[in-house]
Amino acid sequence: MWESIENFGVIGWLLLFVILYFLARLFEQAWLFRRQSFYKEAIEWVVLEIKIPREVEKTPRSMEQFFMNLHGLMNAPNDFMEKYFDGEVTLWWSMEIASFGGEVHLYIRTPKKHKKVTEAALYAQYQSVEIYEVEDYMDSFPRETREVYKKGYNIFGSEIILRKDDFYPIMSYENFELDKNEMALDPISALIEVLANIHKEEIVFLQFLIRPTGTEWQEAGKKIVEELTLKKKEKNKKSGFGGGFHEWFKNFFWAPIEHPSWLGEKEIKEEKFEFGMFKLTPGETDTIKAIEKSLSKQGFDSLIRYLYYSPNSIFSTNFARRGLLGALNQYASQNLNSFRSNYSVETRTKWIYYPYVFVKQRVEAKKQRVLYNYQNRKFPEKLAFGKFFTSHIFNFNNKSKNFILNTAEIATLFHIPAETVLTAPHIKRAESKKMGPPAGLPIFKE
């Protein structure tokens, strides 16, 4: 027996160690996925509809404060038991805009235990709004694509992602310089207009999933700022004896007359004053300032998803693909960031795209995936085991991409429209003005 163990060899033991390590990691992933699934299934949700009064004199800055309050509710597993036995995950919210034949509604889906806090935070900023708990409108929507087809309808859906890394911000309401006298510039007006101009038989759903995140993304962004700041300095550096052969040759002959001066010494002396900024172009300087301003705000792990539902007779993917994306890209900036469709999730494909075969089956699997994810307000699975376990033979569950948006960016995308946006009958609104909430509104309960 001992002889056989000795003959096993170093390579054999190494291979055995690798296999055991792989199995241990696989078990950990499977266990975590199971415990987190139980935790998510136990979450109780409520849907709140926001009824907007005739007069709204607040700018999106008020909505940003609302999102700051939500960020303060961030939870995360703090110890071994909470992570591996309770399966605790960070809770999230869904900000939704739904257009039923051109009539636009605003919804917030929140964990039930945060309902009172969510209402109080919104009332604190918009005293005249009315908030009602309603049935989830998706409960009356078909659960499977075959049910959609039986009614003579079709669906199209996708997710919207950022073109660049998420530390590059989009233009926010702050760039529009909104104040009470400039409400006509409310950036959400273009989106409301697009959603309102659909046929009576069409339905469009748009959701912004947000989940509070820590400071990791800010630390990563600061490193990028440092790289961008020193970019020109690195370009101007020369190789050789302290600053290139030419500089060394010049100093060698002029040394008897004047003290040699090397490029490295100059940079060290001037670095305290320049910080590399004077070597950047005006556009690069503005980009760095915008990134630094974005990193100074709280961030949310975010995902944007939409679903288009229409009778076959008037079904058109152009509206969803171009109309919604065009409305969102009013916040685009050439030097910063913009939105684009996540083509891997989009419910269409062609035979020229990998893997080239089973085109109809892949499109059908995509449709069912988008429909299921929208109905359940799903974030992408973090665990590799979870992605594999929830995959389909024609649709692997690794295409969704979430990204970081700060509070100002989310408030720009989703906020209560100003009164000038409400002049047309696009949004169902409260006819009477409501007084502010009573003092001592209960927030916490057992």
Convert the pLDDT of each residue in 377-417 to its tens digit: 999 999 999 999 999 888 889 899 999 999 999 999 999 98
pLDDT value for 238: 45
Residues 179 and 243 in one domain: no
Among candidate residues 259, 289, 319, the one where a domain is terminated: 289
Evaluate whether residue 236 is within a structural domain.
Answer: yes
Residue 246 structure tokens? 């030419």
CB 64 within 8 A of CB 52: no
Please check whether residues 403 and 335 belong to one and the same domain.
yes
Over residues 6-32, the mean pLDDT reads 87
Examine the domain organization and report whether 162 and 306 are in the same domain. yes
102-148 pLDDT tens trace: 999 999 999 999 999 999 999 999 988 999 999 999 999 999 999 99
Is residue 251 in a domain?
A: yes
CA distances from 443 to 65, 95, 112 (A): 18, 21, 12
Domain assignment present for residue 57? The answer is yes
**DSSP line for 57-86:** ---HHHHHHHHHHHHTT-----SHHHHHTS
Domain count, the chain: 2
**Which region among 143-157, 169-183, 234-248 has the lowest average model confidence (pLDDT)?**
234-248
Same domain, 337 and 229: no
Tokens, residue 32:
């975590």
Decide if 119 contacts 131 (C-beta within 8 A). yes
Q: Is the dihedral of CA 379, 40, 154, 201 positive or negative?
A: negative
Q: Are residues 405 and 370 in the same domain?
A: yes
Burial class (CB in 10 A: 0-12, 13-18, 19+), 283: exposed
Helix (H, G, I), strand (E, B) or coil at 22: helix
State residue 260's pLDDT score: 59
- Express each pLDDT in 407-428 by its tens digit: 999 999 999 987 666 545 556 6
The answer to whether residues 161 and 191 belong to one domain is: yes
The number of residues in the chain equals 446
pLDDT 10s digits, 211-241: 999 988 888 888 888 887 775 555 555 444 4
Task: Name the phi and psi angles at 133, rounded to 5.
Answer: -80, 125
- With H, G, I as helix, E, B as strand and everything else as coil, classify residue 116: helix
Peptide bond before residue 437 is cis, with ω within 30 degrees of 0: no
Q: At a CB cut-off of 8 Å and minimum separation 6, what does 79 contact? A: none
Whether residue 252 is predicted with pLDDT greater than 80 in this model: the reply is no
Residue 210: band (very low, low, confident or very high) from pLDDT cuts 50, 70, 90: very high
Cβ neighbours, 10 Å, residue 407? 22
Q: Hey, what are 235's tokens? A: 């370009």
Whether 100 and 243 share a structural domain? no
Q: Verify that 309 and 270 share a domain, yes or no.
A: no
Q: Is the pLDDT of residue 332 over 90?
A: no
* Token pair recorded at residue 200: 């009576």
Between 197-206, 259-268, 332-341, 386-395, the lowest mean confidence (pLDDT) is in 259-268
User: Which residues, 6+ apart, have CB-to-CB distance to 177 below 8 Å?
Assistant: 185
Residue 354 lies in a domain: yes
> Could you tell me if 311 and 335 lie in one domain?
yes
Rounded CA separation 72/321 (Å): 35
Q: Is 267 within a domain?
A: yes
The confidence score (pLDDT) of residue 318 equals 82
Domain's final residue, options 289, 322, 343: 289
Residue 262: pLDDT band with limits 50, 70, 90: low
Per-residue pLDDT for 156 more than 90? yes
Q: Classify residue 7: in a domain, yes or no.
A: no
Q: What is the pTM of this model?
A: 0.84
Q: 432: number of CA atoms within 13 Å, CB side?
A: 3
Looking at residue 352, what is its pLDDT?
73
Indicate whether 328 and 200 sit together in one domain. Answer: yes
Task: Decide if 37 is inside a domain.
Answer: no
pLDDT at residue 239, as a whole number: 44
Task: Give the end-to-end CA distance of the chain in Å, rounded to a whole number.
Answer: 63
**Predicted local distance difference test score (pLDDT) of residue 75:** 95
Asked whether residue 206 falls in the same domain as residue 233, the answer is no
Report d(CA 338, CA 66) in Å as an integer.
24
Least confident segment among 14-18, 304-308, 404-408, 442-446 = 442-446
Express as a percent the part of the chain with pLDDT over 90.
53
Beta strands in 216-319 (DSSP E): 299-311
Assigned domain for 394 exists: yes
Report the mean per-residue pLDDT for the chain: 83
In this predicted structure, the answer to whether residue 153 has a pLDDT above a threshold of 90 is yes
Q: Quick one: 272 and 305 in the same domain?
A: no
Pairing mode of beta strands 45-51, 103-111:
antiparallel
* Residues of the domain holding 257: 222-289
Output 88 or 432, whichever has higher pLDDT: 88
